[in-house]
Structure 1
């Protein structure tokens, strides 16, 4: 908008906002799909791992994980489930979320690098930077 003619400032502002909104929606979709894909793999594995470390018998692991992830209110009704096992499953869930979110940050680094490269190619706008106010609010 710095270099836009006075008659097109509102059009440039509207286009800028539209591009940001569409870019944000696309970015959110990318981030969500990465997060959900990683979580789908890591959540059952880490819940089982931490629950087994807390004392869950290996033979009950599959039933426990399925119940814990699909009907968490029913998990305490399973035979042999202790507070330590539930605490272990909770810790596994927390680590699964944390490890899955890591990949979203890695992806944002790539977007950041692309933005910096694009910014390096912006031409000099010094000739447009004056004290003239096109539209007073």
Structure 2
């Protein structure tokens, strides 16, 4: 499965916002620096995510971007759909028995499984995964 740069940047940007959820707006310049995303391209991505209702943006020196929903309410599927749309394979014909229909049926089943998996991975899931990978500091003597 190929994921566009746009979708990759979108997931990374929202992941960044999810790690800072509840702390107020985050400047796009900070997101771009932390996630190694070209700032000009990030503005386009954030605009699309805002139009999809996934983020809120505030202008001004105290402004920035923040999630419009809780991290548990935004799935990777939601982000991909907002940025790249949903690409659906044709459904097999109900009485089809030819090779084309069988192959289309397989593609459809695979697409459903992938979509289900993407819907099950939320920003909260990603934050929890990252938190689990951070080394635990132990300052005891």
Q: Same fold (TM over 0.5)?
A: no
TM-score by length of 2: 0.27
Q: Which of 1 and 2 has greater Rg?
A: 1
More strand by share: 2
TM-score by length of 1: 0.27
